[in-house]
Amino acid sequence: MVMNRKVVRVIAIVLAAVMLLSIGWIVLDAITASANTRVTQAEINRLRDELRDYQRRRREIQTEINAIDFEKRSAIARKSVIDQRIMLTSMEIDNIEATIVQFEILIEEKEQEVIWAQEREDDQLQRYRTRVRDMEEAGVISFLEILFDSTSFADLLGRLDFVSDIMRADEQLFFDLIRAREETIEAELALRQTKLELEEEQALLEEKREELYEQVEEANAMIEQLYMDREAEQALYDAVAADEAAIQREIRNREERLRQQQAAEAAAAAAARRGQQNVVRGTGELVWPVPSSRNVTSEFGVRMHPVFRVMRQHSGIDIAARHGANVVAADSGTVITSAFNQSFGNFIVISHGDSINGQRVTTLYAHLSTRSVREGDVVERGQVIGRIGSTGVSTGPHLHFELSIGGTRVNPRRHL
- CATH classification of the domain holding 240: 2.70.70.10
Helix count (H) and strand count (E) of the chain? 6, 12
10-14 contact pairs (CB < 8 A, 24+): 10/147, 10/160, 10/163, 11/143, 11/144, 11/147, 13/167, 14/140, 14/143, 14/144, 14/163, 14/167
Residues near 304 by beta carbon (within 8 Å), at least 6 away in sequence: 310, 311
User: What is d(CA 234, CA 314) in angstroms, rounded to the nearest whole number?
Assistant: 17
> Are residues 314 and 380 both part of a single domain?
yes
Residue 252 CB-density burial (10 A; 0-12 exposed, 13-18 middle, 19+ buried)? middle
Domain span holding position 8: 2-223
**Could you tell me if 95 and 51 are in contact, meaning their C-beta atoms sit under 8 angstroms apart?**
yes
Three-state DSSP class for residue 405: strand
Q: Write out residues in the chain with pLDDT < 70, as ranges.
A: 1-41, 68, 72, 128, 131-171, 173-174, 225-239, 241, 262-279, 303-312
* Residue-wise pLDDT tens digits, 187-217: 888 888 888 888 888 898 898 888 888 888 8
Question: Are residues 146 and 118 both part of a single domain?
Answer: yes
Write down which residue in 204, 223, 242 finishes a domain: 223
Find all residues with CB under 8 Å of 300, minimum gap 6, and list them: 314, 315, 316, 317, 410, 411, 412, 413
Residues 127 and 155 placed together within one structural domain of the fold? yes
For residues 184 and 252, state if they share a domain: no
Residues 271 and 384 in one domain: yes
Query: End of a domain among 175, 202, 223?
Result: 223
Q: Tell me, yes or no, whether 251 and 196 share the same domain.
A: no
Q: Are residues 340 and 387 in the same domain?
A: yes
Q: What is the CA radius of gyration of the chain?
A: 37
**Same structural domain for residues 323 and 212?**
no
C-alpha dist (Å) from residue 173 to 136, 143, 231, 372, 391: 16, 18, 88, 57, 67
153-226 vs 2-27: helix crossing angle, rounded to 10: 20
The pLDDT value recorded for residue 80 is 82
The amino acid that residue 41 corresponds to is: Q
Residues 149 and 239 in one domain: no
Q: What is the pLDDT of residue 198?
A: 87
Q: What is the reported pLDDT for 25?
A: 38
- Per the structure, how many domains does the chain have? 2
- Tell which of 223, 245, 272 closes a domain: 223
- Write down how long the chain is: 416
Residue 162 has a pLDDT of 54
- Looking at the structure, tell me whether residues 9 and 81 fall in a common domain: yes
Cα distance between residue 12 and residue 180, in whole Å? 29
* pTM as predicted: 0.61
- Whether 196 and 238 map to the same domain: the answer is no
Q: Are residues 171 and 250 in the same domain?
A: no
Q: For residues 250 and 237, give the distance between their C-alpha atoms in angstroms, rounded to a whole number.
A: 20
What integer pLDDT is reported at residue 167 of this predicted model?
A: 57
